[in-house]
Amino acid sequence: MSTSAKTVHGALDLAAQIDRAGTGLRFLDGQERDTFYAWPVVRDRATAAAGALLRAGVKPGDRVVIVLPTDVVFFDAYFGAMWMGAVPVPLYPPVRLGRMDEYVERTASMVRNVSAVAVVSDARVGRVLGRVIEAARPPLGYLDVSTLNGAPAPITAQDPDALCMVQFSSGTTVDPKPVALTHAQVLANAEVILERIFEGNAVDGDPPAAGVSWLPLYHDMGLIGCVFPALLAPGPLTLIPPERFLLKPALWLRAISRWRGTVSPAPDFAYALCVERITDEEMDGVDLSSWSLALNGAEPIRPATLRAFTERFARWGFNPRAMTPVYGLSEASLAVTFTPTLRGPRVVRLDPDALATGTAVDSHTGTEHVTVGSAFRGFAIELRGPDGAVLPERKTGRLFARGPSVMQGYLGRDVQPIVDGWLDTGDLGVIVDGELVITGRAKDVIIQRGHNHAPHDLERALDVVEGVRTGCAAAVADLTEDGERVLIFVEVREVREGQADACTQAVRAATGLTPDLVVLLEPGTLPRTSSGKIRRAETLHRFREGTLTPPRAVTPTMLAGVLATSWLAHLRARWTRP
């Protein structure tokens, strides 16, 4: 699969010229009402936004931060910035008012890190961005997306090696880093994804693949993994605001059924949430038989989740072979490895003691691990030991990746994780019968008595404990003068007597490791990245500082205070523009 477009905005222009019926972006609201924008309309709105950005003082090459919800206005700003030669930087909107101070500090830091000239948002989100604008002080301040219209701008030259966008790494172990990606890199990733989508099928004359996604547009899996392939094919893409999915997961599956979705990705927790929260009544009339690629990635994949989802929704036509584990990271644009299409997930049982000492040994009673396939065409992966030597199959090591979509580098950083064209992913893994198994993050690994333990193995063991919130635990190693302690922080629905002991026993039974301390927390206490991943290092830091506390309850008075303070800061930032 290839495209004649050399840039993303060139691909938008080409998709608009093709103007295939029924292709474009469809947006669903909480009542499942839809609004559709064909690709020519998306392009025309982007050209108008591009002209407005130029008139506002944005210049080609400038970085423009975009903080907008899942709506057509996001694409006005995003494609509009590209169209006139600027570099869009999508950031996440505020979603936890109880953590507003943390959001302001983190977002202002990201705005400064990319030297953004402006922050584009809308009236609703903009109300809480005033403090960010005041702290970061971008030269052009705040631009309301509703003002980005008027005379269109001409398309800029198509330079495939020009900076296309900046996306921030998840920041699970450290602060997020600005990942600089060129047009050629992001298009290369979208193209190999399309190859797998159409694997074994002739594209010409076939109906285009229909995508459905609730993933955030500031996240690589939602933007590069969903929007860009729909642009290159071109095809229809149905988008659901992520906050709507979290409130009502059935919206996702109902949309796949209604719009005959063929491709839809999500992290593992989303599949678990569907099992837990969707009722039979909500599935009335739903048909999932069109769903041929249920991509699962972005976080550790739990075999129990795969089984539970396929068993729960088989009666509504879900094909177990559609479940497709994948692996990727922001620094590679997105995807690196992919499970063979329509083969279904592969689960291997490995001896935990042997794995802890660096070797993958099959065992009928071992711990289950999900393979995430092999590298895409044109990509390569290697597992390396501490001395840098490439390791053979079944030896665990640090994962390195190479390919046409690996990032240009971290923007403005002296230290880069790329050596001789190979990206140091920071992940640990092992190759088992030709397919990759991710075993953890190098910075998160817990070492006890010479054995390496992946935190997610300890965290996953807690799922069987009654009252524990699924996927809401953090296992960390705490280095003290007396040695290393293993601490586990876990959110529970309500604290019950004996719950900490039950957690300790569950971890010991699953891994052989006995945690030194289990800390029970209220829901929402664990710090998370913008994509929802738990920040283990930050959890330990806050515990040591005595600041690991639940978010403040959001009251009407608090909300009014946040809005008033933000608007004052916003106005002050406008009046003090240079």
255 against 536, higher pLDDT: 255
> What average pLDDT does the segment 434-438 reach?
95
Of 238-242, 443-447, 467-471, 565-569, the range with the highest mean pLDDT is 238-242
Check residue 163 and give its pLDDT.
95
- Give me the pLDDT at residue 570, please: 41
Secondary structure tally for the chain: helices H, strands E = 18, 28
Higher pLDDT, 96 or 418: 418
Residues 224/297, Cβ–Cβ less than 8 Å: no
When pLDDT is cut at 50, 70 and 90, the band that residue 201 belongs to is: very low
Q: In this predicted structure, what is the pLDDT of residue 532? A: 66
**CA gap 503, 520 in Å, rounded:** 10
- Tokens coding 411: 């923007």
Identify the band that residue 565 occupies on the pLDDT scale cut at 50, 70 and 90: very low
Q: What is the pLDDT of residues 501-513, one digit of tens each?
A: 999 988 888 877 8
Residue 299 has a pLDDT of 83
Find the range with the poorest average confidence among 149-163, 207-221, 475-489.
475-489
Q: Is the predicted pLDDT of residue 568 greater than 70, yes or no?
A: no
Q: Pick 529 or 176 by higher pLDDT.
A: 176
- The answer to whether 337 touches 326, Cβ cutoff 8 Å, is yes
Report how far apart, in Å, the C-alpha atoms of 525 and of each of 90, 112, 542 are.
26, 27, 10
Query: Could you tell me which residue, 470 or 15, shows the higher pLDDT?
Result: 15
Q: How far apart are CA 90 and CA 288, in angstroms?
A: 32
Q: Percent helix, strand, coil in the chain (nearest 5)?
A: 35, 25, 40
- Order of strands across the sheet that contains 63-66: 87-90, 63-66, 118-121, 142-144
Which pLDDT score, from 0 to 100, does residue 553 have?
57
How far apart, in whole angstroms, are the C-alpha atoms of residue 199 and residue 33?
Answer: 33
Complete domains list, the chain, with CATH: 261-443 (3.40.50.12780), 446-545 (3.30.300.30)
* Candidate ranges 140-144, 299-303, 486-490; pick with highest mean pLDDT: 140-144
Is the pLDDT confidence value at 561 over 60? no
C-alpha dihedral sign at 84, 86, 89, 95: negative
Cβ contact 286:249 at 8 Å: no
| Spatial separation of the C-alpha atoms in residues 279 and 268, rounded to whole Å | 19
Q: Hey, which residues does 295 pair with through a beta bridge?
A: 265, 324
- Whether residue 481 is predicted with pLDDT greater than 70 in this model: the reply is no
Burial group, residue 409, by CB count within 10 angstroms (0-12, 13-18, 19+): middle
pLDDT of residue 569: 41
Cα 157 from chain centre: 30
Nearest to 185 by CA among 332, 394, 68: 332
> With 70 as the cut, is the pLDDT of residue 466 above it?
yes
C-alpha neighbours within 13 Å on the C-beta side of residue 334: 26
pLDDT at 382 (0 to 100): 96
Q: Strands 435-441 and 422-432, how do they pair?
A: antiparallel
What is the secondary structure of 455-506 as a DSSP string?
Answer: HHHHHHGGGGSTTEEEEEEEEEEEEETTEEEEEEEEEESS--TTHHHHHHHH
Secondary structure of 98-140 in the HEC alphabet?
A: HHHHHHHHHHHHHHHHCCCCEEEECHHHHCCCHHHHHHHCCCC
516 CB-near residues (< 8 Å, 6+ apart): 485, 486, 487
Instruction: Provide the whole-model pTM.
Output: 0.83
Residue 167: strand pairing partners: 179
Q: Token match 């044109």: residue? A: 378
Give mean pLDDT, residues 292-302.
Answer: 90
Q: What is the pLDDT of residues 45-70, one digit of tens each?
A: 999 999 999 999 999 999 999 999 99
Nearest partner of 97 among 127, 59, 74, 55, judged by Cα:
127
pLDDT exceeding 90 applies to what percent of the chain?
A: 58
Q: What is the mean pLDDT of the chain?
A: 87
Give percent above pLDDT 70 in the chain: 89
pLDDT value at residue 322:
95
Q: Does pLDDT of 323 surpass 70?
A: yes
Q: Is the pLDDT of residue 563 over 80?
A: no
Tens digits of per-residue pLDDT, 102-160? 888 889 999 999 999 999 999 888 888 989 999 999 999 999 999 999 899 999 988 99
Is the Cβ–Cβ distance between 399 and 427 less than 8 Å? yes
Give residues with Cβ within 8 angstroms of 507, minimum separation 6: 458, 461, 462, 488, 513, 514, 515
| CB distance 15 to 39 below 8 Å | yes
Chain CA centroid to CA 398, Å: 22
H/E stretch holding 439 reads strand 435-441
